[in-house]
Structure 1
Amino acid sequence: MFDLVYNTLFFASYSNVFGLGNVTLGSFDILLAYVVTIIVSIVVALALRIPLLPSKPYRYSFDVSAIYPTPIIAIGIFSIFLVLNYTFMYNGLLLAVIIGILSALFVKYLFDFVFPKPLNGDEGEDI
C-alpha cells in the first residue's frame, strides 16, 4: 500500500530531467503536500456546495460528494505530477493547492459529463 509513497520519493529525489538535480523532496514534504491537497479539495468542494456525503443508500449512490471522489481525483493528479518530478514552488505546496481547487471545480461542473450516471433498472432506452 505504501509502495506508492516509496516510488514517489524515489522518483522525486533521484534526479531531475530539467537540470535541477540539487532540488530534492523529503518524505515529510511529500506527505504534507498530499494532506494539503486533500484538505483544500474538501474545503473548496464544500464552498461550492457539494454535499459532504452522498445520498442514502450510500452503497448504491452515484452522487458526487466532498469526501468521494473529490480528494481521490486530487491525490491522483498530484501523484502524476510528483512522479513526473514537477513540484512547481514551495516543495509542491502551491501545486497541491492549485490541484485541490481544480479537482473540486472538476467534480462540481464536469464530473457528470465525463462519467455519466448509469441508467436505473426501471428506466429503459427509447425504442
Structure 2
Amino acid sequence: MFDLVDSTIFFASYGNVFGLSNITISSFDILLAYIVTIIVAVLVALALKIPLLPGKPYRYSFDVSAIYPTPIIAIGIFSIFLVLNYTFMYNGLVLAVVIGVLSALFVKYLFDFVFPKPLNEDNGEDIDE
C-alpha cells in the first residue's frame, strides 16, 4: 500500500507526461499542500457552524459534518488541480487554502441541493432527523 501511495505522489510531483509543464514540485510540497487543504477545510467548516460529527446513528446519518464530506471534497478538487499541473503560487499552498475555504462553503450552502437526502421509504418524504 505504501508503494502505491509513494508512486502516486512521485508521479504527481514529476510533471506532465506530455511535457507541457517545466515546473515540478517535490513530494513533500504535495503532502504539505494536502495537509493544509484538509486543515483549512475543517477549520472553515467549524467556523461556519457545521457540526464536527454527523447526527447519531453515525452509520445511517445523511447529515454533513466538518469531518465528512468537507475534507474529502477539498482533497478531491485539489487532486484535480494537481493532475492538471496547476499549482499557482508557493508550491500549491495558496491554491490549497482557497480550495479548503471554497469546499467548506460548498458543503455549508450547496451540498444539500447538489446531493439531496434520500426519501423515507415509509411516507415518501425526505429523511429529517
TM-score of the superposition, structure 1-length normalised? Answer: 0.88
Structure 1 residues 92 and 119: CA distance shift in structure 2, 3 A: same
How far off its partner does 1:41 sit?
Answer: 0.1
Contact 1:8–1:82 (8 Å) recurs in 2: no
Structure 2 equivalent of residue 7 of structure 1? 8
The CA RMSD over aligned residues, in Å, is 1.7
How far off its partner does 1:4 sit?
Answer: 5.5
**Aligned-partner Cα distance in 2 for 1:60–1:5:** 34
Structure 1 residues 107 and 84: CA distance shift in structure 2, 3 A: same
Q: Render the CA deviation track for 1:57-107: whole Å, top value 9, x for unaligned.
A: 000000000000000000000000001100000000000000000000000
**Aligned-partner Cα distance in 2 for 1:85–1:14:** 7
How far off its partner does 1:13 sit?
Answer: 2.2
Q: Which has the higher contact order (CA 8 A, sep 6+)?
A: 1
Q: Which amino acid aligns with 1:124?
A: G
Total equivalences in the alignment: 122
The answer for unaligned runs of 5 or more in structure 1 is none
Structure 1 equivalent of residue 67 of structure 2? 67
**Aligned-partner Cα distance in 1 for 2:33–2:63:** 27
Give 3-state SS (helix, strand or coil) of 2:119's partner.
coil
**Aligned-partner Cα distance in 2 for 1:104–1:58:** 20
The answer for unaligned runs of 5 or more in structure 2 is none
Identity of aligned residues (%): 75
Q: Render the CA deviation track for 1:2-41: whole Å, top value 9, x for unaligned.
A: 5365334324423452xx51x2211100000000000000
Contact 1:70–1:103 (8 Å) recurs in 2: yes
Give 3-state SS (helix, strand or coil) of 1:44's partner.
helix
